[in-house]
Structure 1
Amino acid sequence: MTTHPSSLLFQTPSLSLRGSTLTSLQERCTISLPQTQISALTEKSPSPSATLFRFREDGMLLVVGPLDRETNDIYELVIVATDKGTPQRQNMTSIRVRVTDVNDNAPVFSANTYTKSILVKDVKVGDVLLTRSATDKDMGLNALVTYSFSSGASPYLALNGSTGEVTVASDLSDVTEDTPLELTAMAKDSGLPPLNSTANVQVLLMTVSLGVNVAFESSSYNFSILENEPKGRPLGTVKATPGSPMFVVTYVLTTHTDLFSVNALGALTTRESLDKETQEWYILEVEAEDSRTPPTSAVAMVRVQVEDVNEAPEFKEETYEAKIFSIAPYKYPVVQVQGTDPDSGDSGRLEYSLMESSSSFDVGRSTGQVYVVSAVGLEGKTTALLVKATDPKGLHATTTVKVDVQGSASNDVVVISLNQATNVVEKKVPEMEESLGRVLGWTVKVIGISSTSRGTVRSRESGSATKTYVSFIAVDGGEVIPAEDVKNKLQSEGSTVKAELEKVFGAGLEHVVEEESADTASDQVIVIVLGVLFSLSLLGLVVMGTFTLIKFRRMKGPRKYTYMESFDIDRRN
């Protein structure tokens, strides 16, 4: 029968592992327990997931992960030992592992550059100009820092090796002009081997007081750039002076950073392509900061104007379609095309024209209104027109207008007269077509409005016309309704027609269904006759003027001084 101790006893070692960073198997210890097996090792460290320690079967404790004293200098390990007897017995103990320091961190200065400007008349020997400080993450002598100048030593300055204070070392009365001093300071620890770092020390000895703050050469700047330029285009440069050659100025853009950027020299560039029609002006703020401690800063305003680049116009529709009747008179509106130009101002004004001249249609130069010149002979045909919109600089766009000309005889036209001014009726054509359509039950198309009937011409000025003739046709399913059928329905529904038209023109509206079509051609005949008479008169005036000029020159040639005789100049008795 085998006997074994009633309990297991540890001789727990206390471990001290030297070195700020230890790797696997660098430090180890052995725990000897005969006929026992170490069954568990638990690490109480800030990072439990990292396995830093491990026991071998013979009881040797191994370091299997990196140890850094600056991260954690003490580790608490819990060990469980189990024997091989029956029944098994176990015991627990803990091991404290302390990581000692090695000199693996150099001192670090609080700033890379220390600057100071002083007036020599305002300081004396022993005055503290600035204090440099450095810290070391190590401990003990490894963290004990001393200071010195490693280069650029000056008789005017002294450095306290313990505190890092820079003081005036001698009388400055012999300094007669501004004198910049630039030195390199070193912070060194006391470890073995010692580690060190350096920083710049800049001191300006001034004889005359100058501006002490950074300032821009101008409080505002104005730059411009053409629209649609690719990103990265330069805008211009802003410039600020630090007030001392010892200091360096840096620039920061504080507004519209998504569209613009500024570099270390103050040069502004674009980050994106800019569009004048989206935004013409941008107000930027650029901040300049110098390198002194503490720094001073200034802000300048930058105005950026996006200048226009002529862009081609475009039509809202690629194709326009319209239907008219072959009896449509001159200037009858077909369809209005509309182009848009992304440019602004005069650059965005468009002029409309036909790509090829047409004897049947034309377009208003400024309105884009396509109208009828003469639809005779186009019955049952579809005419395609190419309309062009041109900007002042010659860029243009085109669109297609398809006009379906439906046949209709002139005797299908119905004429009614209204006791309204012509210009009033012209403004209410859509409402009038809708009202008459509701009464008749057909689609009504007004093809002419005139103040003329049977050769009588009336004034078209507002308020003076007492009677206006409206010519229209009625359509049902694409077929024109005969005029007699339309007239009969107008007569039978007279009261309803009156009521509907009063909704458009107001109370007191009177209408008459005319038996004869309005003489729409009379105005054109009068215009043609007057045009011919005017041309003949103009020709006569030209001939008469030419004859008179020739006669005057002939009379002027042989006689001299006629104007002198007329005014008795130099007349001798």
Structure 2
Amino acid sequence: QAVCKRRIMQCLIIIMYTSKAVSGQIHYSIPEEMQKGSFVGNIAKDLGVNGKQLSDHGLRIVMSKGMTQYFALNVNSGHLQIVERIDREKICKELEKCMLKLQVLVENKLKLYSVEVEITDINDNAPQFLSKEWKIEIPETATPTDRFLLPRAQDPDLGINSVQNYELTGSNHFSLEVQRGENGARQAELVLEKPLDREEQSVYDLILTATDGGVPRKTGTLNIRVNVTDINDNAPVFSQAIYKVSLKENAPIGMSVLQVKASDSDEGSNAEITYTFSDIAEKGEQKFTLDPKDGKITLLENIDFENRKKYVMIIQASDGGGLVAHCKVEIEVLDENDNAPDVILTSISNPIPEDLEPGAVIALIKVHDRDSGENGEVSCHLQEFVPFQIVSSSDDYFKLLTDGSLDRERVPEYNITIIAMDKGTPPLSTHKTISIMISDINDNPPAFEKPSFTAYILENNPAGVSVFHVKASDPDLDRNAQITYSFLSTSIEDLPLSSYISINSETGTIYSQRSFDYEQLREFQIEVKVQDGGSPPLSSSATVTVCILDRNDNSPQILYPSQTPEGSSVFEMVPRSAESGYLVTKVVAVDADSGHNSWLSFHLLQATEPSLFTIGSHTGEIQTARTLLERDAVKQKLVVMVKDNGQPPLSATVTVNLVFAESFQEALPEINSQPNDSESPLDIQFYLVLALALVSFLFLVTVILTIMMKLRRSRNPTFLQCFIPDPHSKTGAIFPPNYEDGTLPYSYQICLSSESRRNEFAFLQPIFPSLCQNTNYNRILRNSFG
């Protein structure tokens, strides 16, 4: 029944003391020694958080490092419950008001709430004396009303639950008087009621009972033995009623703390003083020792300010006659800076996006120092120069904030070292390193290596061959760095771009979709777009110029002399008086190819009289190699081959018909006459013999005609028209190799007969240099006639 009443009382106390502070700090009050799992308070309700959303809010308790966790939060109901036995006397010792503080963190808001749980005392400790028996000597000369101080019972409970009264039983010679001290503590004194007679009774056995005021009451007893001694009329006297001393917590073991001193006016054994602890807490008796002879107090163990700040003890001085005196000793423990700050990472957001605005909260950090005063005041700063800052939040909490722009591509991770330093002398510090990862956002467009590219492909290529490969990069990650390639252009020369070229969207490789012809299309431009997979996507573009390179796939075309359907040219007249080096005609040819493939050379394949003519291998000019002899045929037939410089070379031939005559009327019969293929070799021999017979006669005639022709100084026949390029032209020339005479294949003199001049020539326009002409193939300007 007593246990049930006790539990009912505890529940009533919980209901009565549980409350919420007006200032916003949550306050609960519970009695000590409650069972594990007992209800303390509804945290969720007091914070205004719906219990169904506790998991979303991330509600949890933040405990300091090294502290016992007495409470837990039920994540389902939001109730604060007891998870560890709570002993008020163990936690708060002599403190009258025992408070347990904890922090409740709402993680989704990174906000802390302070919660105080006041632990109220219950009567769970009975009064107790330090020893079971106490001996006191009283001289028989003691008079009634003399008082003798008795040991004080100790009860760690507070208030009504502590010692409230003392009772004395065993003899009517003595009574008990209880005095209340300044701090409310009760001190029992033994009062002599009747005179003593040692011879009548030398020993009195008394029982002192200490009673507390709890429900139910608890008691403790002390057996007192009173020895009646012979007369000793002078009691010891201390030099001070109260001794006070300060002692640093790092004082070495064995150090002399202080020395009490008492004197006695008696002589002999009645003046021999012995010092003992009359009243000292158990912890104090372990820390200090008292020399019974000289009253010197010595340190036995290390003392710690954080565990106990003050030691109070009563020292008794007894003389040899049994008279005693008492003094009070107060030892104050001074704090030393012997505890470095504790740095506890309460909550952190990791990773953080690189576009996070300055001032955003990254982490919540608790810093605690067990020292007091300036030794316990802590400041925090960051060791590295990073775009973060740490600021004080409340109580012992600090916030880690962003303090600048972040760029994952430049710094993907930060190792932030937080230095917590107290204000002690010398100061103590703690380093805490936090790794912050930076997450990627799509803030970088993909980029090509350069804004423009030039690709080359030989004409007559097979469809589907790789033309070029463009490469772009994106410093972002994952989908933000997944790039695809496409064309921005839609057409080339009014034809769909897809009929010319295609691109692999993943690799950036460009493929031809048709076979290209240099003579039809020499270059074209396309614009390639690259786009990443971010949201929204970013893109950039580059220009690719595709140059078609020439192959030797066109044979030379002979423009002059024009040919008949049978393959022969019209007749050209040559004066009989033409000297050696006379320009007979010029073979003009062009090649649709370019570069080396269009460099032409001229060769005389066949001639009626090979020794009579020469041809310029690079100019196509046909000249006489000597003067015409009488034995030479009037009609001459020349077969000229024009060959280009390609690999393999291509060629074309033309037949040139020449007639030696001084006038058109003289040449006309020869032109109209058809060669007689039926003439026999005998007829040819006949003509040769006849020619030899007439040599003597014709020699003289030839000499006379030669002299006359020189006198006429006629260099050019009136019936021939010559086209000579302007020697002062500023047009530059590019000379192909092995052109010893320095004459371009397109620098020429053309002499046309009256009949030939009627022909019209289609002159090719010059082609000016473009981007594609800046290659290893030199572009030579086309022929232009004028």
Shorter chain as denominator, the TM-score bin is 0.3 to 0.5
What TM-score results when the alignment is normalised by the length of structure 1?
0.35
Q: Which has the larger radius of gyration?
A: 2
Q: Which has the higher contact order (CA 8 A, sep 6+)?
A: 1
What TM-score results when the alignment is normalised by the length of structure 2?
0.26
